[in-house]
Amino acid sequence: MITLYEMTYALTSAYGVYIIYKLMNIFFEEPRTTKTRELISYVVYYVLSSALFFFIRVPFVMMTANIIMFFLLSLNYHSNLKRRMIFSFLAYMVLMVVEVMVSVATGYFHIQIFKESEYGSILGLVIVRIVSLVVVITISRFKNIKKEIPTSNFSWVNSIIISFGSLYFLILFMDKGNLEHLNVFLLVLWVLTINIMLVEAYDNLYKEFLSKSKKLILQEQNKSYEKQLAIMQESAKNTQTLNHDIKNHVITLRYLQGNGEYDNMRKYLDNLAKSVYDKKNFSSSGNYAIDSILNFKLQQVVDMGGKANTEVIIPKDITVSDFDMTVILGNLIDNSIRALKVSEEQGEISVRIKYIKSNIIITVINSFDGNVKYKDGKLQTTKVDSKNHGIGLLNVKEAVERNNGHMDIQYDEKKFKVTVLLPLQ
C-alpha cells in the first residue's frame, strides 16, 4: 500500500517538473517543437522519474537517469550540442544539490549513493520544492544565459570538468558518511555555489561579448561615416572643378558642334559626366546612418565589378537608433558582398528601405551560387573570419529583436532575400 510519504512525493514531484520546465526556459531559447510535444515530454519525464522512485530508489541510478532525461528535455529547444550538454547538466546539478542540502538540513546526512534511499521526511519534500523555486527565481535574473555566443571548446570543456568535478567530490564525501553534520551542509552549499557561479560566468561572458561586438560595430560605423564624408568631399570638389572650367567646356563643345564632330562631342560629354558621377550616390535619404552604410558598402560592390540598386523612401527621423540600423544594414550587406565574391557570375545587390504603415521594411536581395549550409536549424557561414562573422549574425538578430521586429529569409537557386520589419514606436 502506498504510504503518505510516497503520496507526498508524487504530488511534489509534479510541481518539481514545473520547476524544471521554468529552469529549462531560463537556459534555452524558444522551443523548436510544438507546445503539445513539449508538454508530452515533461509528462513522460514525470512518469519515468516517478517509476524510478517507486521501483528502484537508488540515488546513483536516479541521478544518472535524470541527467540523461534532462539532456533529452533540452532537445525541445533551439541550441547546439555543447550548450545542451553543459546546461542540461547544470540544471540537474542545481536541483539535485538543493535536494541534498535540504536532506542534510532535515537530519539525513549519510546518503548512501549506491544503496536504496531511506529518506522519509515529508516536510523535507515540501521544503525541497520551495527552495528549488527560490533558486530558479534567483538564476532567472541572469538575462543573458540563453543567448548563444561563440565560445571556444576549451571553455566548454572547463565548465563541464568543474561541474562534474563538484558532483564527484559531493558523491565521494557523502558516501563515506563520517563527516560532521555542519561540514556536510557546508560542502553541499559549496557545490551549489560553484554551479551557480558557472551560470553567472556565462552571463558575464555574454556581456563581454556584447561589449566587444559594440566596439566592432562602432569601428565599422566610423569607417562608413569617413567614407561617406570622402564621397561628399570628392563630389563637391568635382562640382567646383566643373564650375571653374565650365566656360572652357562650353567653348570646346561649341567648336565640336560647329565642325560636325558629333562622335568626339559625345565622347567629350561622356568624360565630362564621368568626372561628376564617378562615385555614385546610392542613398540621400537624410538619415546619416543609412546613407553612410549604403554609399560606403555598395561602392565596394561597384568597385568589384558588380551591380548595386537602391530604393530608399523613409522619413528623415525614425525611432530606430543609428546603432541598430548600422548593425542590421551593415551585416546584411556584408553577407551579400561575401556571396558575390564566391559567385562565378557577375553579382548584383538590391537594397530597398521603405516606410509602410508605421513600419520600416528593409529588403536585401543578392545573387549567389545557390549553396546554403544549415546546422542546428541555422544558416552557417563559410567565411574565413567565421568568428567575427558569427558575431555579426548574432548582432543582427539581437538588433531586430531589440526593436520588436521580425526577420525573414527566402532563397532559390539564384537569389537570396532577407526581409526585416522594424515597427516604429
Q: Which residue has the higher pLDDT, 229 or 264?
A: 264
Poorest-pLDDT segment among 109-123, 158-172, 353-367: 158-172
Confidence at residue 338, expressed as pLDDT on a 0 to 100 scale: 84
Most confident of 58-72, 132-146, 237-251: 58-72
Confidence at residue 50, expressed as pLDDT on a 0 to 100 scale: 94
Give me the mean pLDDT over the 52-59 stretch: 90
Helix axes 181-244, 262-277, angle to 10 degrees: 150
Query: pLDDT confidence of 379, banded at 50, 70, 90?
Result: low
Count of beta carbons in the 10 Å neighbourhood of residue 31: 14
Give me the mean pLDDT over the 316-338 stretch: 85
State how far the Cα of 323 lies from the Cα of 359, in Å rounded to an integer: 18
Q: Which residues have C-beta within 8 Å of that of residue 196, sequence separation ≥ 6?
A: 94, 135, 138, 139
Query: pLDDT confidence of 246, banded at 50, 70, 90?
Result: confident
Give me the mean pLDDT over the 215-231 stretch: 62
Give me the mean pLDDT over the 229-245 stretch: 59
CATH superfamily ID and name for 282-425: Histidine kinase-like ATPase, C-terminal domain (3.30.565.10)
Confidence at residue 291, expressed as pLDDT on a 0 to 100 scale: 84
Query: pLDDT confidence of 94, banded at 50, 70, 90?
Result: confident
| 319 has pLDDT over 70 | yes
Query: pLDDT confidence of 142, banded at 50, 70, 90?
Result: confident
Per domain, the residue ranges of the chain are: 4-213, 282-425
Please state, for a pLDDT cut of 90, what percent of the chain lies above it.
21
Q: Which residue has the cell 521544503?
A: 127
Confidence at residue 386, expressed as pLDDT on a 0 to 100 scale: 47
Confidence at residue 69, expressed as pLDDT on a 0 to 100 scale: 96
Confidence at residue 361, expressed as pLDDT on a 0 to 100 scale: 94
Query: pLDDT confidence of 363, banded at 50, 70, 90?
Result: very high
Q: Which residue has the higher pLDDT, 335 or 276?
A: 335
Confidence at residue 387, expressed as pLDDT on a 0 to 100 scale: 46
Confidence at residue 7, expressed as pLDDT on a 0 to 100 scale: 92
Least Cα distance to 228 among 290, 270, 151 occurs for 290
Most confident of 71-75, 95-99, 404-408: 71-75
C-alpha cell at 187: 560542502
| 72 has pLDDT over 70 | yes
Please state, for a pLDDT cut of 70, what percent of the chain lies above it.
77
| 16 has pLDDT over 50 | yes
Q: Which residue has the higher pLDDT, 396 or 110?
A: 396
Confidence at residue 385, expressed as pLDDT on a 0 to 100 scale: 45
C-alpha cell at 117: 534511499
Query: pLDDT confidence of 383, banded at 50, 70, 90?
Result: very low
| 239 has pLDDT over 60 | no
Query: pLDDT confidence of 26, banded at 50, 70, 90?
Result: confident
pLDDT single digits (tens) 158-217? 777 777 777 777 777 666 655 566 676 777 777 778 877 877 777 777 677 767 766 776
Mean pLDDT over the full length of the chain: 80
C-alpha cell at 26: 531560463
| 12 has pLDDT over 50 | yes
Confidence at residue 355, expressed as pLDDT on a 0 to 100 scale: 92
